[in-house]
Structure 1
Amino acid sequence: MDMKIVQWAYARKYQIKAVFDDFPETVFLFRRIGEYYFLFSCTGGEFTRLPEREDYGQMEELVNEELGTLEHYLNRRSNRQGVS
């Protein structure tokens, strides 16, 4: 992962706002579900390139690592083998 969190802060209850170095003019909002955080929405400026699915996964991993919930994120139901 070469993407980095530039800044993050708590927002409303169970929500985190984060800015990443690959998309510095965009604020990404993460919501807590169970024991981990997932990307919910984004707002902000012009995109030099649009985030792709892989970017969203990296962002979720970085936020969960920062908040100490990475193990729960990696063990979520949708990530387990054999679950669609």
Structure 2
Amino acid sequence: MKLNSPVALSVLATALSVCVAPPAWAALDIGEKAPDFTVPAALAGKQYSYSLAESLAKGPVVLYFFPAAFSVGCSAEAHEFAEAIDKYE
């Protein structure tokens, strides 16, 4: 594969972004406070802005992560999580 081919450049760009990106996937220790954040979110097909600080003001928060929003597998996981929300309240 030539280094200047689109595939090689894409692989190189992906590898470099992983190397220099902050560890967004770093785990918190049990009981450790999560850093405050505001992110785009979706609920029942409607998009909105989610703020951890605003949610914590209302009570305890359960955070979970999935790597690919709006993909088939992750959308199914999020839907199942939403259906089981009573187990977390």
TM-score (norm: length of structure 1): 0.28
TM-score by length of 2: 0.27
Give the structure with the larger helix fraction: 2
Larger radius of gyration: 2
